[in-house]
């Protein structure tokens, strides 16, 4: 029931985002010149919030652009209405709508709509992860120097880098390649789909993590903090991987704990 509605909602919000792409839209700054919000981020959030309020009026909502309701409910919908806003605003077709659903603190379902590739990645707790009808499973590489990893950088990197650049330099020397796509939820999905061996980032938010974490875990991967400990959606420093490469990656992160 929740999954059906989640997928329907994912399509609906994806259409809003797709229709706004490369149109003349209003863009504002949040915390600095790098941290943007567009009218489409807000429109997508409004469509998502209206849908949840109509279908599940008692459920809680936590969304990036400020919606925060019914937080004492057993259910919490954690929403990034447009993940990859910088890409979106600059015409690069890599962005997503990411929606996770939690029940009593546990993520029970998640969907990431990779809008311009028209692919919806989703998972329900205990039943696997899928892209459409295709079951997802993480890759099997365990050798760091054969690996391709992905990362992202916080908007406050100039003032509060959290060693993001130092860690990046270490990995780029020790792996086959590093990619930076600009949409954390898609980074998680590509780990789930065996494209990337691991994804790390030093300052994520709950809406970046919620759906993607479940999708990686249900595809057989592992999501921890930089100590290798279990995470929740409020953990900032996240490592998601195929599991086999988790230890070698954690080893590189050790000096930056």
Which is nearer to ligand IPD, 57 or 66 (by Cβ)? 66
Are the C-beta atoms of 115 and 97 separated by less than 8 Å? yes
**Nearest alpha carbon to residue 207 among 124, 121, 97, 117:** 97
Q: With respect to Ca ion, which residue has the nearer C-beta, 82 or 178?
A: 82
CB 179 → ligand IPD: shortest distance, Å? 11
Residue ranges in contact with ligand IPD by CB under 6 A: 80, 83-85, 152-154, 182-184, 201, 204, 208
Comparing CB distances to ligand IPD, the nearer of 81 and 220 is 81
The order of strands in the sheet holding 129-131 is 68-69, 60-63, 75-83, 96-103, 106-114, 119-124, 129-131, 134-135
Taking Cα atoms as reference points, which of 193, 241, 232 lies closest to residue 102?
A: 232
Question: Residues 6 or more apart from 132 whose CB is under 8 A from it?
Answer: 119, 120
Per-residue buried b or exposed e for 114-132, using 16+ beta carbons within 10 Å of the residue's own CB: bbbeebbbbbbbeeebbbe
State both tokens at 244.
């086999």
Phi/psi of residue 53, nearest 5 degrees:
-60, -35
Return the range that interacts with Ca ion (CB under 5 A); candidates 136-144, 150-158, 188-196, 200-208. Answer: 200-208
Binds 240: which of ligand IPD, Ca ion, none (CB < 5-8 Å by kind):
none
Q: Which two tokens stand for residue 97?
A: 């709508």
Residue number with the shortest CB distance to ligand IPD? Answer: 152
Q: What is the nearest approach in angstroms of ligand IPD to the Cβ of residue 152?
A: 2
Cα four-point dihedral sign 114, 115, 120, 124: positive
Residue whose tokens read 């998680």: 188
- Contacts of Ca ion in 45-64 (CB under 5 A): 64
Tell me which residues in 68-97 interact with Ca ion (CB under 5 A): 80, 82-83
**Minimum CB separation from ligand IPD for residue 182, in Å?**
5
**Which CB sits closer to Ca ion, 83 or 218?**
83
Task: Specify the 3-state DSSP secondary structure of 191.
Answer: helix
Q: Which is nearer to ligand IPD, 88 or 122 (CB)?
A: 88
Partner whose footprint covers residue 186, from Ca ion, ligand IPD, none (CB < 5 to 8 Å by kind): none
Based on the shown chain and the rule CB under 5 A, indicate whether residue 208 belongs to the binding site for Ca ion: yes
CB of 126 to Ca ion, least distance (A): 26
CB of 63 to ligand IPD, least distance (A): 11
Min dist CB 96 to ligand IPD, Å, is 9
Note the residues at the interface with Ca ion (CB under 5 A).
64, 80, 82-83, 208
């Amino acid at each position: 029931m929740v999954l059906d509605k989640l997928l329907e909602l994912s399509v609906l919000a994806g259409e809003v985002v797709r229709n706004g792409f490369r149109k003349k839209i209003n863009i504002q700054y949040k915390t600095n010149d790098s941290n943007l919000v567009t009218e489409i981020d807000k429109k997508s959030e409004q469509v998502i919030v209206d849908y949840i309020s109509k279908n599940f009026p008692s459920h809680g909502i936590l969304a990036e652009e400020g919606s925060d309701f019914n937080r004492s409910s057993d259910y919490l919908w954690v929403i990034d209405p447009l993940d990859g806003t910088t890409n979106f605003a600059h015409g690069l077709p890599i962005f997503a709508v990411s929606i996770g659903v939690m029940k009593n603190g546990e993520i029970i379902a998640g969907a990431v709509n990779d809008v311009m590739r028209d692919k919806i990645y989703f998972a329900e707790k205990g039943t696997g992860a899928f892209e459409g009808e295709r079951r997802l499973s993480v890759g099997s590489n365990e050798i760091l120097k054969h690996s391709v990893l992905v990362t992202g950088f916080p908007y406050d990197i100039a003032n509060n880098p959290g060693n993001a650049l130092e860690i990046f330099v270490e990995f780029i020397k020790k792996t086959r390649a590093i990619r930076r796509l600009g949409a954390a939820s898609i980074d998680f999905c590509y780990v789930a789909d065996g494209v990337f061996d691991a994804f790390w980032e030093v300052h994520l938010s709950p809406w970046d993590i919620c759906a993607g974490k479940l999708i990686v875990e249900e595809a057989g991967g592992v999501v921890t903090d930089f100590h290798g400990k279990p995470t929740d959606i409020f953990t900032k420093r996240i490592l998601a991987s195929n599991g086999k490469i988790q230890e070698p990656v954690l080893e590189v992160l050790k000096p930056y704990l």
